[in-house]
């Protein structure tokens, strides 16, 4: 019987940047399977292709060889705008928020970009902020007046604005202390275990690897 928990399959995926030498692959023959309800870590040294793999999974780059399937369907045959604006949420190491806008404005902007139809966007933003442990009083605070951990919470709330099933995080705790890292990990775990989302974290943190449900290793090619 088919495993209906599987949400994403990376099948024999290789990637070579257009300006790289002929045999210089950023990723080579990667096979990973991801299920809903679990948090994954993809572990690898600097330069092992972690960010490249997330670019392939998020449809920003296309596999040179192999394929990526979302819910059984090749990304090559999908409407990637819709995929990026509704199926996946992305969280970055450097938060990538707009610093002079408030926490709620950052979240609402993401709703607008994705074309989400919500009556009261500010109420929805507040609900998302609560979910990631941010106080109500932070809603109108400019992002540049929040700590790193608080900014990452806003970024996670933003990534959830259109309720994606798959959350991709590129070294999301790379700039944070261990205590804050654990708090952020608890949010990701709750999203997977309580809301059946699939969370994929690329990292080189042993602490992150110890906390997740499954770890995939990305070998260094060179």
Query: Nearest approach, Cβ of 17 to ligand ADP (angstroms)?
Result: 3
Which whole-number Å values give the CA distances from 158 to 4, 13, 76, 162, in the listed order?
27, 29, 27, 8
Stretch that binds ligand ADP, among 1-9, 39-47, 92-100, 146-154 (CB under 6 A): 39-47
* Beta strand residue intervals within the chain, DSSP E: 6-15, 27-35, 39-43, 65-70, 73-74, 88-91, 166-170, 198-203, 214-217
* Positions in 51-110 near ligand ADP (CB under 6 A): 51-52
Count H helices, E strands: the chain?
A: 7, 9
Which whole-number Å values give the CA distances from 192 to 14, 64, 97, 187, 199, in the listed order?
28, 30, 24, 9, 6
Dmax of the chain from CA atoms?
54
Q: Does 50 bind ligand ADP (CB under 6 A)?
A: yes
Contact pick of 12, 31, 47, 60 for ligand ADP (by CB under 6 A): 47
Of 215, 168, 206, nearest to 52 by C-alpha is: 168
* Binding-site partner at residue 16 among Mg ion, ligand ADP, none, CB < 5 to 8 Å by type: none
Of 174, 191, 173, nearest to 182 by C-alpha is: 173
Binding residues for Mg ion, rule CB under 5 A, total: 2
* Binding-site partner at residue 99 among Mg ion, ligand ADP, none, CB < 5 to 8 Å by type: none
Which contiguous run of DSSP H or E holds residue 184?
helix 178-195
Contact pick of 6, 9, 14, 51 for Mg ion (by CB under 5 A): 51
* Binding-site partner at residue 26 among ligand ADP, Mg ion, none, CB < 5 to 8 Å by type: ligand ADP
Binding residues for ligand ADP, rule CB under 6 A, total: 12
Stretch that binds ligand ADP, among 1-9, 15-23, 62-70, 106-114 (CB under 6 A): 15-23
The residue among 68 and 126 lying less far from ligand ADP, judged by its C-beta, is 68
Question: Under the rule (CB under 6 A), what is the footprint of ligand ADP?
Answer: 17, 19-20, 26, 44, 46-52
Where along the sequence are the contacts to Mg ion (CB under 5 A)?
50-51
């Amino acid at each position: 019987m088919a495993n209906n928990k599987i949400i994403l399959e990376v099948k024999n995926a290789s990637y070579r940047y257009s300006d790289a030498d002929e045999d210089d692959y950023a990723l080579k023959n990667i096979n990973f399977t991801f299920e809903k309800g679990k948090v994954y870590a993809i572990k690898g040294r600097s330069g092992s292709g972690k960010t490249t793999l997330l670019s392939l999974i998020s449809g920003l780059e296309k596999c040179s060889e192999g394929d990526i399937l979302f819910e059984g369907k090749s990304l090559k045959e999908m409407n990637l705008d819709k995929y990026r604006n509704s199926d996946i949420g992305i969280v970055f190491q450097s938060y990538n928020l707009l610093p002079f806008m408030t926490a709620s404005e950052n979240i609402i902007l993401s709703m607008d970009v994705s074309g989400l139809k919500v009556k009261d966007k500010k109420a929805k933003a507040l609900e998302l902020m609560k979910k990631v442990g941010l106080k109500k009083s932070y809603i109108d605070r400019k992002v540049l007046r929040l700590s790193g951990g608080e900014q990452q919470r806003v970024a996670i709330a933003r990534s959830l604005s259109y309720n994606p099933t798959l959350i991709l995080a590129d070294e999301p705790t790379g700039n944070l202390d261990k205590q804050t890292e654990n708090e952020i990990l608890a949010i990701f775990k709750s999203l997977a275990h309580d809301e059946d989302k699939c969370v994929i974290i690329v990292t080189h943190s042993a602490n992150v690897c110890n906390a997740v449900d499954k770890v995939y290793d990305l070998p260094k090619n060179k």
